[in-house]
Amino acid sequence: MATNQMRREAAKRKLANQQKHREERARRQKRVAVLSSAGAVVVVVVAVVLLVTAPWKSDTSAAPPPAAAPTDAAQNVPTENAPVPVRPTPLPAAVDCAYPAGEQAAKPATPPAQTTGVSAQGTVAAALTTSAGPIGLTLDRALAPCTVNSFVSLAQQGYFDGTTCHRLTTAPGLQVLQCGDPSGSGSGGPGYSFADETFPEITYGRGLLAMANAGPNTNGSQFFMIYGNAQLDPNYTVFGTIDAPGLQTLDTVAAGGTTSGSGDGAPATPVTIETATVS
């Protein structure tokens, strides 16, 4: 028969075991919480890396930016235009340009006829008549004379007419509409390329017009129009600005989001460049 002392000892052991189990359960719960928090940090870091390092190339294999609902993106779109970049050292009054042949053109096109003595002064007015609304552009020769020379040549050839703007991004750090590929695949171009006209001081933001590329010196016909933020390295040639009605058009397109509902894809509001003219 158990004595009082034996019963007390058994009760103590039972209490000790219960306390030990509670402590082990608490430690397991803490480990799960820590792992969950670490996983969330990794997801955020990966999203930031994808956004900053590889979001904006005409190569369709490039990683897309993290998804963001159009309503959330709209709340993060700045209303003020970004300052236009200024070259720290102005270019000479005229420059020479090269447009070497590359892959087959997505639509028949020829390189610019003028390649020597290309003006690096003044601006060119351009107008995109699109299915979503008008977009006026001012092309800046002082920023990128060879790029402006190519864009003007392609517009005069009707290269952009009847083409779609195939890519919209609405992520908080990258808010742009990309156009200029007649194939609509994101990999088409005019059959030639030309060098970057960048400099380290370039920053990007609302109201700027820039060239898309698939790496250094692979510019062709694809360009992107920034309606919001664009946290990019200075690897993309800025060659002009977008007027106020054009930004209103872009804002409307951006508000509609993408066809997939993610932060990167074809715009749900279709944008077809009906005509592109320069004057």
Query: 239 with 227: CB under 8 angstroms?
Result: no
Angle at CA 263, nearest 5°, toward 181 and 269? 60
DSSP symbol at 67: P
Listed residues 53, 73, 95: the one ending a domain: 53
pLDDT tens digit sequence for 181-213? 999 999 999 999 999 999 999 999 999 999 999
> Quick one: 37 and 83 in the same domain?
no
pLDDT of residue 10: 63
pLDDT score of 226? 98
Nearest-angstrom CA–CA distance, 242 and 262: 25
Domain enclosing residue 224, as ranges? 57-278
Q: What is the pLDDT of residue 14?
A: 64
273: CB partners within 8 A, 6+ apart: 128, 129, 130, 160, 161, 162, 163, 164, 165, 179
Residue 5 shares a structural domain with residue 115: no
Q: What is the pLDDT of residue 76?
A: 78
31 with 160, same domain: the answer is: no
**Per-residue pLDDT tens digits for 21-44:** 566 555 544 433 333 333 333 333
Max Cα-Cα span within the chain: 112
pLDDT of residue 196: 98
Q: Are residues 130 and 144 in the same domain?
A: yes
pTM, to two decimals: 0.77
Q: How many structural domains comprise the chain? A: 2
User: pLDDT of 68-101, one tens digit each?
Assistant: 444 444 557 899 999 999 999 999 999 999 999 9
**CA of 205: how far to CAs of 78, 89, 101, 154, 217, in Å?**
9, 22, 32, 25, 22
Q: What is the pLDDT of residue 6?
A: 56
Give the integer Cα–Cα distance in Å for 197 and 180. Answer: 18
Among residues 149, 271, 167, 277, the alpha carbon closest in space to that of 219 is found at 149
The structure tokens 């904006």 sit at 56
255 versus 46: the higher-pLDDT residue is 255
Nearest partner of 69 among 277, 260, 269, judged by Cα: 260
Determine the Cα–Cα distance for residues 29 and 38; give it in Å rounded to an integer: 14
Give pLDDT tens digits for 151-175. Answer: 999 999 999 999 999 999 999 999 9
Count Cβ atoms within 10 A of the Cβ of residue 47 and give its class: 0-12 exposed, 13-18 middle, 19 or more buried. middle
178 and 95 part of one domain:
yes
Do 36 and 162 belong together in one domain? no
| Percent of the chain clearing pLDDT 90 (strictly above) | 72
Domain boundary among 53, 78, 95: 53
Distance CA 46, CA 182 (A): 32
From CA 115, how far away is CA 128, in angstroms rounded?
25
Considering the domain architecture, whether residues 91 and 211 belong to the same structural domain is answered as: yes
Q: What's the pLDDT score for residue 22? A: 62
Do 43 and 81 fall within a single domain? no
